[in-house]
């Protein structure tokens, strides 16, 4: 940098050095100053600050160095917090005190939000940097009122409606959650701690416990459960944690199945047995999301065979034989697809085989009508759906099973010649998606 500056001084005017070096922005609106903050190089920033003082006016120093933001709305202070560079943050703070008014330091550094609605405090929580958060907390206590600390730091949320506690939980940062919890107890009322920390939901309708469930953070889940027992009534724990559904109609049980988190599902199951009635456990096991899928369907969708098997085992303990048949094997989602169709759609052949094994024990004629011939809302059977996804191995297996269970006429009419809602048979569908190997196999 120093050498480039020496060369520049030989060739450029003072104005050109200022505009083309110190103040030039790249395609994302970042100056060299902001990139130095991103790289976490305090020596480089120190050198640039010195050069800027020689070349820029007081107003330019303020606007182009201390307050300048890139296209994502982040100034050097945000960027240093984002990169968890405590030494850089401390240096920027010293420089800010030289150039900015008290109100500007408060609004443009501590409380300034970037394009996703996060302040520097949120970013420290995101990366799990306790030292950076403690530094921000210390500075906030010097500059903000009690009410501002409460509303603008502890309770402030990003664009996804997550506060720092949510964000720390999202990243599995239990030490940070513990610290924020302590700060919250100092600054918030019991009711605020309950409603704004434990029960606050994000843009997906998930509280911190749901978020930890989604990511399989069992240690975080267990700690939140402990805190919940301190602050919530038995009924609130039941309704706001075990039974709460998000905007997609999914409870914690669904969310754990979605992520294939068997250890989390096992833990939820144990907690549920202690808090819910037999009927409630059954209903939650069978409850469907807004796509008409229960936890078993969701596990099928993602090909989580171990989760499927565990749910099946639990279902056999809690459901009647008829309920197992109707609510697991035959239950269809909003597209009219049962678990067999869903597995065909995703090309999960081992899952399809397992469902077929279970079906042979539960269904008459081993699921001929409910599996091989069943059509979805678009008039497609499993063979069509596999063709749509170009899943030749799945099509081959369904063909073999069909030859065992269907008549020659049924194979002809229901597989080769069956047309969907767009009047396309499997060969047309394969042609539509350019699946030449599938087309050739159907031709054979």
Q: According to the model, what pLDDT value does residue 21 have?
A: 83
pLDDT in tens, 14-28: 888 788 888 899 999
For residues 221 and 216, what is the distance between their CA atoms, to the nearest angstrom?
8
Q: Is the pLDDT of residue 365 over 70?
A: no
Q: What share of the chain is helix, strand, coil (3-state, %, to 5)?
A: 70, 0, 30
Q: Does residue 387 belong to any structural domain of this protein?
A: yes
Per the model's pLDDT, the better-predicted residue between 188 and 5 turns out to be: 188
CATH code assigned at 406: 1.25.40.20
DSSP class of residue 30? -
Q: Does residue 428 belong to any structural domain of this protein?
A: yes
Q: Does residue 285 belong to any structural domain of this protein?
A: no
In the chain, count H helices and then E strands.
30, 0
For residues 269 and 213, what is the distance between their CA atoms, to the nearest angstrom?
13
Which two structure tokens, joined as six digits, stand for 83?
């990169």
For residues 396 and 24, what is the distance between their CA atoms, to the nearest angstrom?
61
- For residue 425, give its domain range: 334-444
Q: Does residue 72 belong to any structural domain of this protein?
A: no
pLDDT in tens, 304-323: 999 999 999 999 888 998 99
For residues 244 and 286, what is the distance between their CA atoms, to the nearest angstrom?
15
Q: Is the pLDDT of residue 2 over 80?
A: no
Angle 330-336-337 from CA coordinates, rounded to 5°: 60
Q: Is the pLDDT of residue 404 over 70?
A: yes
Over residues 251-257, the mean pLDDT reads 93
Element (H, E) at 416: none
Q: Is the pLDDT of residue 50 over 90?
A: no
Q: Does residue 132 belong to any structural domain of this protein?
A: no
Q: Does residue 430 belong to any structural domain of this protein?
A: yes
Per the model's pLDDT, the better-predicted residue between 156 and 52 turns out to be: 156
Per the model's pLDDT, the better-predicted residue between 300 and 86 turns out to be: 300
144 neighbors 152 (Cβ within 8 angstroms): yes
Number of domains in the chain: 1
Q: Is the pLDDT of residue 135 over 70?
A: yes
Q: According to the model, what pLDDT value does residue 8 have?
A: 64
Q: According to the model, what pLDDT value does residue 275 have?
A: 92
Dihedral sign from CA coordinates of 140, 142, 143, 148: positive
Cα dihedral 361/362/368/373 (nearest 10): -140
pTM confidence score: 0.82
Q: Does residue 375 belong to any structural domain of this protein?
A: yes
For residues 394 and 147, what is the distance between their CA atoms, to the nearest angstrom?
61
Per the model's pLDDT, the better-predicted residue between 371 and 422 turns out to be: 422
131, with CB counted inside 10 A (0-12, 13-18, 19+), is: exposed
Query: What average pLDDT is seen over the chain?
Result: 90
For residues 284 and 319, what is the distance between their CA atoms, to the nearest angstrom?
12
Q: According to the model, what pLDDT value does residue 366 have?
A: 60
pLDDT in tens, 190-211: 999 999 999 999 999 999 999 9
* Residue reference for tokens 């409603």: 195
For residues 340 and 386, what is the distance between their CA atoms, to the nearest angstrom?
11
Q: Does residue 423 belong to any structural domain of this protein?
A: yes
For residues 165 and 126, what is the distance between their CA atoms, to the nearest angstrom?
9
* Residue reference for tokens 């443009």: 108
Q: Is the pLDDT of residue 10 over 80?
A: no
Q: According to the model, what pLDDT value does residue 208 have?
A: 94
Q: Is the pLDDT of residue 9 over 80?
A: no
221 neighbors 264 (Cβ within 8 angstroms): yes
């Amino acid at each position: 940098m120093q050498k480039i500056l020496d060369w520049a001084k030989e060739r450029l005017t003072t104005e050109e050095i200022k505009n083309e070096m110190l103040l030039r922005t790249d395609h994302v609106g970042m100056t060299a100053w902001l990139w130095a903050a991103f790289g976490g190089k305090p020596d480089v920033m120190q050198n640039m600050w010195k050069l800027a003082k020689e070349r820029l006016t007081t107003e330019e120093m303020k606007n182009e160095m201390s307050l300048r933001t890139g296209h994502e709305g982040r100034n050097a202070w945000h960027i240093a917090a984002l990169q968890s560079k405590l030494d850089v943050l401390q240096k920027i703070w010293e420089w800010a005190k030289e150039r900015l008014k008290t109100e500007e330091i408060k609004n443009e550094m501590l409380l300034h939000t970037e394009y996703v609605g996060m302040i520097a405090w949120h970013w420290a929580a995101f990366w799990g940097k306790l030292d950076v958060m403690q530094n921000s907390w210390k500075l906030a206590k010097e500059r903000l009122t009690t009410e501002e600390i409460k509303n603008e730091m502890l309770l402030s949320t990003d664009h996804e409606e997550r506060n720092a506690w949510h964000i720390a939980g999202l990243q599995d940062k239990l030490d940070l959650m513990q610290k924020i919890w302590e700060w919250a107890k100092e600054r918030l009322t019991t009711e605020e701690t309950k409603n704004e920390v434990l029960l606050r939901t994000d843009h997906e309708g998930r509280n911190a416990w749901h978020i930890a469930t989604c990511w399989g953070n069992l240690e975080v889940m267990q700690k939140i459960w402990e805190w919940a027992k301190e602050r919530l009534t038995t009924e609130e724990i039941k309704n706001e944690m075990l039974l709460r559904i998000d905007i997609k109609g999914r409870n914690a049980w669904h969310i754990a199945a979605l992520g294939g988190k068997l250890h989390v599902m096992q833990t939820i199951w144990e907690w549920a047995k202690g808090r819910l009635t037999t009927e409630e456990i059954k209903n939650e096991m069978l409850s469907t999301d807004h796509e008409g899928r229960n936890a078993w369907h969701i596990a099928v969708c993602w090909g989580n065979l171990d989760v499927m098997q565990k749910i099946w085992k639990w279902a056999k303990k809690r459901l009647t034989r008829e309920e197992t048949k109707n609510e697991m094997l035959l239950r269809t989602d909003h597209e009219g697809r049962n678990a067999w169709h869903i597995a065909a759609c995703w090309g999960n052949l081992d899952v399809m085989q397992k469902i077929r094994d279970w079906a042979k024990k539960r269904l008459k004629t081993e699921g001929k009508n409910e599996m091989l011939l069943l059509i979805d809302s678009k008039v497609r059977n499993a063979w069509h759906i596999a063709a749509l996804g170009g899943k030749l191995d799945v099509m081959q297996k369904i063909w073999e099973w069909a030859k065992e269970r269907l008549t020659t006429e049924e194979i002809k009419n229901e597989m080769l010649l069956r047309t969907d809602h767009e009047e396309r048979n499997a060969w047309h569908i394969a042609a539509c998606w350019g699946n030449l190997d599938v087309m050739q196999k159907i031709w054979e």
